[in-house]
Amino acid sequence: MGARKQVDAPPAEFAEAVTQLRGARFRPEVFVEEMPAPQRIAPHAAAVSADVTIDGDDVATGRLVVLYDPAGNDAWQSTFRCVAYVRAAVEPEMVTDALLGGVGWTWLMEALADRGAEYLAPSGTVTRVVSESFGGMADDDATAEIEIRASWSPVPGPGGLVDVTKHAEAWGEVLCTAAGLPPVPPGVVAMPTRRGQRGR
């Protein structure tokens, strides 16, 4: 059994990345928990999901997957890749704004820059969705959402290690921005990740 555990043990670089992901801090409105990671994209993967709740209502949701391939990946330009998803409700009139897509992408770029989370090969899409009701549901108000799907490769820091914490916290900030939360005032410390309890 001991030899089997040794064989199955994840590489040290990935194990450290998972520890950093679990140690990321988010605002109290953000509930984060671990979720099953996709198994076929890379040899090693870890994932978390999140919901942003304001006044008892879930206004944004998302997930972050950290991929690791010790052999490297030409498309990633790295051994690590972050894959993020954010979905949030917005006012229906916002969806008609042609600039909304670019604004959504800027949220991610600025969040990464604010945390000093350097990256390579960013790519992604920003989708605007409007739902209107008809027939027996005609009295229901129209709803609108913005969806951000993005991936990027974290740049290793000193010692060749990737600081996944910065990238996870940047994703958390995009969730909050998309949800319409104001920026955290300087000096205010975010809360540790909460798992297994909503406390709501």
The helix (H) or strand (E) run that includes residue 93 is none
Q: What is the mean pLDDT of residues 78-91?
A: 92
Q: Each residue of 5-64: pLDDT tens digit?
A: 444 678 899 999 999 999 999 999 999 999 999 988 999 999 999 999 988 888 899 999
Cα 19–Cα 24–Cα 25 angle in degrees, nearest 5? 150
Separation between Cα atoms, residue 103 and residue 90, nearest integer Å? 13
In the structure, what pLDDT confidence band is assigned to residue 194 with cuts at 50, 70 and 90? very low
Pick from 63, 84, 81: which is nearest to 72 by CA?
81
Strand ranges, E, within 74-178: 78-90, 119-131, 143-154
| Three-state DSSP class for residue 85 | strand
